Chain A
C-alpha cells in the first residue's frame, strides 16, 4: 500500500471514531444531566425562564432531533464559511454568544501552549533518556530515572504554583498570567502570539509573549517529559545492543555519531507514536496549567463556564478538544507511516 492510500484509509477510519466521540459528548452533556436547561438554573429557576432558554437552545425539540441538529451544525459548511467557525450552538450563559466563535478564539492560546510544551517535553525527555541509557546502571541513570518517577507524581498545577511563586512573586522575573503583558498583543494572523509578532517584525511583542509562555510551557513540559524519558531510555537500551550499533562502533565512528545518528534514529519512532498518544494527556494537563496561569485558552474557558453552569459552552469546548486530539493522532500516524514504510504494509 502506498503512502497516499494509507493516508486515505486512515482518514476514512477517523470518521466513525469522530462520530462515536461526538455522540459520547452529546450523551454525557445532554442526556446524562436530564435537563441541562433546568440544571443551569440549579433547578431553582422560574419555569418560564427555563422554558425560554430551552426554546432558544432548541432543547424543546425531541432528543433525536437535537442530536441531528448538533451533528448537522458541526458539518454545516455554509455556516462555517459565513462565520469562520463551526456551529456549536449558543451559550447558556449569554444566549447572544455563539459557542463556536468563543471556542475558536480561545483555541490558539491552547495550541501555542501545547506546541511549546510538547517541544520542551520531547527535547528534555529524549535528551535525558539518551543520557540515562548511556550511563545505564550508574548514578546519572538512577538520578534521571528518579526525576522521571517524580514528574509522574507531581500535580501539574502544583508545579505551576511553585514556579509562579519563585519566578513571579519572589524574583519578579516573569509574568504569572495572561499571554502577553505590558504591550498590546500582535495583530491576529495565526493567533499564535510568538509567530504573529515575528511575522510583523514586532520584537517587543515577541519577547513579551515568550516571557509569558515560558512558565506555563515549562510547567507542562517538565511534567510530561517523564513519559518521553522512560520510553526513550527503554528503546535506546534495546537499540544500543543491536548489531548495527556494534558494527558502527567497530568502524571507528565517534560515540556521539553512533548514539544520535544510529541508535536514536531507530529508537525515535516509538517515541513519536507516544507523542501522539500523550497529546491527549497533554491537553488534560493544559486545562490545569491554563487555570493556574490564567492563560486564556480553551481549558480556562471551559473551567470558567463550569462556574456559570454553561453546559452548551462546556460541550463546545469538549468537542473542540476531541477534534484537536483526533487531528493530532491522525497527523502523527501519517508521519509515522511516512518515516517507517513498514507501517504502511
Chain B
C-alpha cells in the first residue's frame, strides 16, 4: 500500500511532447547530459530535475564543506547563543559554535546512513522478492508472512528498538533503518514478478531451456527495475527522516560530528530561550533533502507509469 501513496494518478496533466524538441535546453540540462530528455517530458520531468538538483546540491555542499566552512563546527567557540548576524549568518549554539558551519557539514552522517540503508534494503529486499515470488509455494508463504508482520509494525518503533540494542554508529543506524524498509522492496518486487512470470516471453525463455536464475535475472529483473527505482528514491526520503528521528531521540552517532538531527535535539533544550536559529536552519536542511528525494520519486513514478496519467 505504501507503493500506492507514491503513485498518485493524474497528478499532472499529460506531457505535451509534441514539438518539444525546440525547447531551449535548461542550464542544468547543459551541465548534466541526459537531463534534457527529462525536462522535455513536462511537469513530472521538471519535478525529477528539481529533485536531482536539490539532492546533488546538498551532496556537493556536504562534500566541499570541510574546506570552505568559516569556522570549525565543533571546536570553534564564539559568542554564546548569538542570533544571526553578519559575522554568524545563522547564529551560534549555546556553546558558541557557528551554526552556518554546522549546517553546511551536518548532512554527512545522514547521507551516509541513508545511502547505506538503501543499499542494504536493495541488496536483501530485491533478490528475496524475486526469488520468493518466482519459486512460490511454502517458501513464498513463509517469507511473506514474516515480511508482512514487519511491514505492519510501526517502523520507527522497530528501528528505535534495534538501534537501542545495536548501539550507535553509522552502520548500526543503517541496519536498523534497513530492517524497517526491506518489506517495501520485497512487496513491490513480489507483486510485479507474480504478474510478469505468467507472461508468454518468460514461458518462451523457459521452454528453450533457460536456467531459473537466467530467467529471473535476464528476463524478469529488467522489467521490475522501474518500480524498484521509484521505491528506492522514496525510500531515500524515508531513510533520511528515520535517521533524523533516531538522532533526535539520542541514538545518533556522537556529539563530535556536526549533525542536523543532533542540532534539533540540542535546539529543543534551548527553545525556551527563543533561540529559533538553532533548530530552524538544520530543520530546513532535513526537509530539503527529504523533499529532493520525494520529488525524484514522485516524478519518476509518474514518468515510468504513464498509464496512470490522464
Contacts and interface: CB of A to CB of B under 8 A. Distances in A.
A32 interface: yes
A329 B283 contact: no
Interface stretch (B21-29, B55-63, B122-130, B241-249): B241-249
A155 B286 contact: yes
Interface size class of A (residues with CB under 8 A): 35 or more
Given A161-B264, A161-B279, A325-B153, A288 B9 contact: no
A325 B154 contact: yes
Given A155-B244, A231-B5, A28 B274 contact: no
B156 A25 contact: no
B160 A162 contact: no
Contact of B161 (A28, A150, A153, A277): A28
Interface residues of B, number: 53
A155 B287 contact: yes
B5 A303 contact: no
B294 A149 contact: yes
A165 B250 CA distance: 21
B154 A284 contact: yes
Contacts of A21: 149, 153
A162 B294 CA distance: 22
A227 interface: yes
A288 B155 CA distance: 12
B276 interface: yes
Nearest to B310: A237
A314 B274 contact: no
Contact of B157 (A154, A156, A321): A321
A33 B146 CA distance: 21
B271 interface: yes
A261 interface: no
A284 B157 contact: yes
B145 interface: yes
B274 A170 contact: yes
A145 interface: yes
B44 to A, nearest CB: 12
Given A170-B274, A303-B250, A311-B165, A318 B157 contact: yes
A269 interface: no
A169 B161 contact: no
Nearest to A156: B245
A154 B287 contact: yes
A42 to B, nearest CB: 10
8 contacts: A20-B146, A154-B290, A155-B245, A155-B248, A157-B244, A168-B271, A277-B2, A299-B157
Given A149-B294, A234-B8, A311-B165, 7 more contacts: A28-B158, A157-B268, A176-B271, A227-B5, A281-B154, A306-B160, A306-B249
